[in-house]
Amino acid sequence: MPRASGKRNVSMIKIVVLALLIGTSTVAFFRFAMPSSTKDEFKYRTVPVKRQSISNTISATGTIEPCDIIDVGAQVAARVIEFGIDPDTKKQLDDGSRVT
C-alpha cells in the first residue's frame, strides 16, 4: 500500500508543475507577444531653446587643505652687486643701506 500513495504524490507533483508551466507560458505570451497599445505612445516635454549664461554659486564652510605639500626652496651663494630701488621710499639703495 505505501507504493500507491507514492505514485499519487508523483502524479500530483506532475500536475502542479504542468499547471505552473501552462500558466507561466500564457502570461508570457500575452505580455510579450501581443501588441500593447501603450508601447507606442511616448510623450515628450519640449521647450524652446534660448541662449543665456550659466552660473553656479557654491557656498561652503570648512577648511581648505592641500592634497600634497611640496617644499620648494633653493640655496644660493652669490655676491650682491646692486640693490636697486626701495619700493617704499622710491630711493636708490647703496651698499651701506640697511635692507629689512
What is the chain's mean pLDDT, rounded? Answer: 79
Range ranked top by mean pLDDT from 13-22, 27-36, 71-80: 13-22
d(CA 52, CA 15): 69
Q: What is the pLDDT of residues 52-78, one digit of tens each?
A: 888 888 888 888 888 888 887 777 787
Q: Which tens digit of pLDDT belongs to each residue from 38-51?
A: 555 677 888 898 88
What separation, in Å, do the N-terminal and C-terminal C-alpha atoms of the chain show?
115
